[in-house]
Amino acid sequence: MTDSHDASARRMLRHMLAALAYRTQKALRGAPDDFGAYEAGHGVRTPHELVRHMTTVIGSARAKMRGGTSAPASMLTFAAEVARFHETLALLHADFADPTLASTISDEQFLQGPLSDAMTHAGQLALLRRLAGAPVQGENFILAAVRTDDVGERQPEPASPDPHWQPGGTRAQSDSGARGRP
């Protein structure tokens, strides 16, 4: 067991979970009703399957502190899957705040392993939105209203949305005449 952990490192891990909640909800907010079942191609996880996998990854991180394993069965609805993901985030968030809990991996390993893995999948959800014909508006994430204490489903709207984004998912011509990337 890894007994020592730095309180500031644990706060950073809790903030990473909050950023994960924010980015996941950004990718899901306003998605078409059937988005959870969207199939991009053979061997590509659906959004429902991705969120279940994210829950498994976060649950496995909890197991590094509490023991056990994490292999939850799929929920019947996409909405229930998303709710369970946020519940699991909240449990790990609370674990990171508990100074009495030791872990079998270092804080750096939490970051480079399960937390980075889950954040990658949040990006995949955003990519699947674009492929499904319902792209997500870009924003400056440095200015995002991510609150370390909030890992729930009800995340704030973007604080600094991309001013050149258009609903079709493309960027408008900039003042300099250069075309931005979609």
CATH of the domain at 60: 1.20.120.450
pLDDT one digit per residue (tens) for the chain, 182 residues: 554 578 899 999 999 999 999 999 999 999 999 999 999 999 999 999 999 999 999 999 999 999 888 778 888 999 999 999 999 999 999 999 999 998 999 999 999 999 999 999 999 999 999 999 999 999 999 999 999 999 999 999 988 888 887 766 555 544 444 434 44
In a domain, 104, yes or no: yes
In a domain, 102, yes or no: yes
Query: What is the C-alpha to C-alpha distance for residues 57 and 51, in angstroms, rounded to an integer?
Result: 10
In a domain, 130, yes or no: yes
In a domain, 165, yes or no: no
pTM, entire model: 0.88
Here the tokens at position 175 are: 């003042």
Q: What amino acid is encoded at 156 in this protein?
A: P
Report CA 88 to chain centroid distance, whole Å.
Answer: 12
Minimal CA–CA distance to 58: which of 80, 31, 35, 82? 82
In a domain, 179, yes or no: no
Query: What is the C-alpha to C-alpha distance for residues 77 and 59, in angstroms, rounded to an integer?
Result: 19
In a domain, 170, yes or no: no
Could you tell me the CA-to-CA distances from 166 to 18, 65, 96, 136, 176 in Å, in that order? Answer: 27, 44, 39, 10, 18
In contact, 155 and 167? CB cutoff 8 Å: no
In a domain, 2, yes or no: no
Domain count, the chain: 1
In a domain, 65, yes or no: yes
With residues binned 3-state (H G I as helix, E B as strand, rest as coil), the percentages for the chain, rounded to 5, are 50, 5, 45
